[in-house]
């Protein structure tokens, strides 16, 4: 690597890879805990990438759908910047070699998902879009002379000097440590799903980056907004709940109860393709009444099923064929709209600490993310951040002190935290359950001392502070409010019942 101060990027999903690529020619260390990048949430994404590239569509319509899904809690400027960049993102990825699905005449095949008024989801390999995009980006990064890979390492601590980033300390599975001096650290560490028992996220999505940022003094934002995907596979022994893409509903599948009656009002459209928070709440309430939910995709023809090889293989592993029997589904924690508060260029409130992807909060998703905007965000924001960090934001200086997120929870504490998180921060919430969970963690040293417990305390506090329902934060004991933006260190303002 060059003597120029390196950029350290932690996380090798779409956001981290795009940041690393765009930072050329600055030397980059790309740190990832698993065999890059197959263990990331990006690689597991089935849905696709949203872009207004179809006939009659435009970024203004894409923005309107994004704002509506986000309950108008979004940062409007961030939304318009995201959707305006989307068509160019598709062209750029195609130029890198992403094999987007096309028809016989070479036109992009566009799908429709929940909350979208038009078919604008581009796919690659049917329901394997995330893997196709991540693999292509990883191959480009592996071939890039400015990128050095550090697989099998995790970020343990951040070095600070005079209030800004000065370095990182890494640790591997053999407990070896390594320090890298850098004035710029990018956290692209993904989400928080591993804090929950029912999640579509990989085990590495444990909020580690968010916890470290909190320990370093960075402002966090919108922690209460947690998206539950309405259709994860609901079978015993599935472990991490596999996602059943909502593109199936876009192709004609319907949500039904045990009698085959429709669960969502209005039949297939618009009910089955309502925003995720709406559908997840409906299924949750049905389950609370003692019922189960099913996705009936038996009406799809053979041509349609060719777009869903992942779903077919998933169902086959669990012993049933979705072409002849309904798929049992349940809501599962899927995406965190909140995160490290960053400006449009990815800078946090700690100089030299940057964040991108799910761990960051630009405000673009508002109170509930629109389907297939996450891969888009990772590419757009990653490229923007990498371009900004082509030059170091400061010179190197020795770290004056180190901050870490504290000890991790043991197995028993992790299980307790997951139970409390699922009960209190699910699709339907109430103040009493939130307060009970907060008190249970606060009064148990094994839970409150663990970094996972402290992070959950912050999310519970944010959920209690937002006293009305908004987007994915739905409180049955309170009314609606539309214009509070709550940061962990910033009092709520402008609340309306």
Nearest C-alpha neighbor of 136 from the set 371, 309, 372, 379? 379
E runs forming strands in 316-361: 327-336, 339-341, 353-355, 360-361
Q: How far apart are CA 403 and CA 167, in angstroms?
A: 11
Q: How far apart are CA 355 and CA 343, in angstroms?
A: 10
Mention every residue, 6+ apart, whose C-beta is less than 8 A from residue 42.
Answer: 13, 14, 15, 130, 133, 134, 375, 378
Q: How far apart are CA 416 and CA 199, in angstroms?
A: 15
Tokens representing residue 212 in the block: 């470290």
Cis peptide before 253 (omega within 30 of 0): no
Active-site residue, from 33, 276, 388, 429: 276
Provide the CA 123 distance to its chain's centre, in angstroms.
18
Whether 26 is a known active-site residue: answer: no
C-alpha distance from residue 164 to each of 8, 24, 35, 145, 251 (Å): 14, 23, 30, 28, 50
Query: Taking a C-beta distance cutoff of 8 angstroms, is the pair 8, 31 a contact?
Result: yes
Q: How far apart are CA 436 and CA 171, in angstroms?
A: 36
Q: What's the order of all strands across the beta sheet hosting 360-361?
A: 220-221, 339-341, 360-361
Helix axes 451-465, 411-424, angle to 10 degrees: 10
Measured CA angle at 409 (ends 407, 410), to 5 deg: 120
Query: Taking a C-beta distance cutoff of 8 angstroms, is the pair 200, 229 a contact?
Result: yes
Count the Cβ atoms, other than its own, within 10 Å of residue 323.
16
Catalytic machinery residues: 276
């Amino acid at each position: 690597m060059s003597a120029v101060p390196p950029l350290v990027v932690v996380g090798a999903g779409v956001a981290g890879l795009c940041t690393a690529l765009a930072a050329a020619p600055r030397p980059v260390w790309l740190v990832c805990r698993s065999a890059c990048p197959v263990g990331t949430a990006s690689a597991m994404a089935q849905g696709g990438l949203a872009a207004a590239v179809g006939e009659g569509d435009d970024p203004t319509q894409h923005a309107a759908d994004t704002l509506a899904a986000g309950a108008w809690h979004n940062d409007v400027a961030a939304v318009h910047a995201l959707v305006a960049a989307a068509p160019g993102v598709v062209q750029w990825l195609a130029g890198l070699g992403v094999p987007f699905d096309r028809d016989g005449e070479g036109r992009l095949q566009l799908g429709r998902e929940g909350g979208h008024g038009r078919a604008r989801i581009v796919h690659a390999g049917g329901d394997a879009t995330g893997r196709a995009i991540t693999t292509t980006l990883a191959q480009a990064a592996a071939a890039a002379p400015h990128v050095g890979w550090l697989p099998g390492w995790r970020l343990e601590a951040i070095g600070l000097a005079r209030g800004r980033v000065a370095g990182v300390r890494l640790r591997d599975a053999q407990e070896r440590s390594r320090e890298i001096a850098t004035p710029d650290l990018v956290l692209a560490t993904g989400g928080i799903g591993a804090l929950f028992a029912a999640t579509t996220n990989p085990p590495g999505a444990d909020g580690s980056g968010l916890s470290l940022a909190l320990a370093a003094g960075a402002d966090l934002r919108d922690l209460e907004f947690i998206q539950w995907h309405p259709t994860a596979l609901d079978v015993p022994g599935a472990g991490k709940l596999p996602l059943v893409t909502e593109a199936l509903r876009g192709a004609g599948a319907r949500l039904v109860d045990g009698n085959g009656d429709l669960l969502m009002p209005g039949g297939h459209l618009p009910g089955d393709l309502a925003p995720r928070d709406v559908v997840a709440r409906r299924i949750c309430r049905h389950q609370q009444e003692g019922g189960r939910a099913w996705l009936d995709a038996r009406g799809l023809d053979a041509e349609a099923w060719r777009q869903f090889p992942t779903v077919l293989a998933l169902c086959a592993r669990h012993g049933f064929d979705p072409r002849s029997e309904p798929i049992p589904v349940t809501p599962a924690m899927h995406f965190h709209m909140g995160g490290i508060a960053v400006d449009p260029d990815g800078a946090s409130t700690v100089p030299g600490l940057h964040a991108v992807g799910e761990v960051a909060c630009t405000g673009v998703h508002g109170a509930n993310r629109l389907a297939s905007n996450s891969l888009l965000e990772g590419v757009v924001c990653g490229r923007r951040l990498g371009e900004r960090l082509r030059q170091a934001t400061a010179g190197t200086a020795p770290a004056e002190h180190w901050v870490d997120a504290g000890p991790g929870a043991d197995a028993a504490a992790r299980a307790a935290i997951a139970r409390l998180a699922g009960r209190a921060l699910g699709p339907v919430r109430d103040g009493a359950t939130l307060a009970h969970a907060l008190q249970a963690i606060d009064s148990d040293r094994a839970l409150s001392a663990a970094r996972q417990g402290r992070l959950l305390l912050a999310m519970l506090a944010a959920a209690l502070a937002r006293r009305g329902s908004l987007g994915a934060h739905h409180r049955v004991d309170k009314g609606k409010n539309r214009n509070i933006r709550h940061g962990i260190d910033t009092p709520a303002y402008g609340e309306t019942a």
